[in-house]
Structure 1
């Protein structure tokens, strides 16, 4: 089973390389395949004044960006990179719609644009790396990023980081997590901060 996943990963990476070099058949194959991923994600987001087709269109732009920007020398597989590009494109569109409508939308925000639209504010990735966790949007994106990276089959996070982060998203305090995992509160704090920095760094590198 694992061999099958590795083979699929290799084939996708080769197709992505061919597509990036201008092979239309490879590009069309990846677009067809990931359109289903986009349709699934479209149900998770809402853009005021837009229908699902608009969201799907944004997700498809994300696929094009993934094909053009994929670098096989990086740690992420093409699937991991493509899903992050799709998420980011949809989220950016939602953030732009928020500013236009001047009304709150559901939990969505740009990963690489200032969180309140002002030039002097920090980006979400910077916010994550510095430990600001009051924003439920940030927590949602961190959870989704963790799920994507875990699903890629890489050892991106240690077992302690994964366990601590799972409890953290459930609203537990560092002390409560420490008692559950039989670790010191300081080690839990360190694990959670490492997790945030890793995810923020990965998101910045995949821009």
Structure 2
């Protein structure tokens, strides 16, 4: 006579932590499959670190929210590039990507004076960026601040929304729009994007304007305030 045994529960890996919250690996996996809600949860989870890291810098001639948005771009890149076979946790990888994105933006702004940011001064050391020299006040002050049309293309609030729903809107972007957006997210200027795509800067500007409108439409369809 066959003995009746209770079913054995098999835990799904990387689904929840001891506090009952979905863990990072599980959320990243969902985000990579195009689940916008997973992006939203990751953004909410790491918003505090982004704000803390951004607060280490002071913006000269601009809005402090710009640095927060750069940090959120770093978080998006972490989600996009993270591999579960890495030895480091997603948290460590995300914090590194966020810090690098902010510092790269600072250095680019100082060097070129025509990036999505204006000019920044570091108030504190950033241990996660070991090996990268900090921008000093003497390096920042010389030279005028140059207005960049990128700030007109994707405003701070829209950029945060963009990070949280990129996977959902990507299916409605044209090939040009996708390529322009990808290069922009990699930190390239209008001029570099235009050179890489063999077009003029006006075409780049128009493509990012269309991306902005499509993101707004996508958010409205999800009933999420932009």
TM-score category by the smaller chain? Answer: 0.3 to 0.5
Query: Higher helix fraction: Structure 1 or Structure 2?
Result: 1
Normalization by structure 2: what TM-score? 0.42
Larger-Rg structure: 2
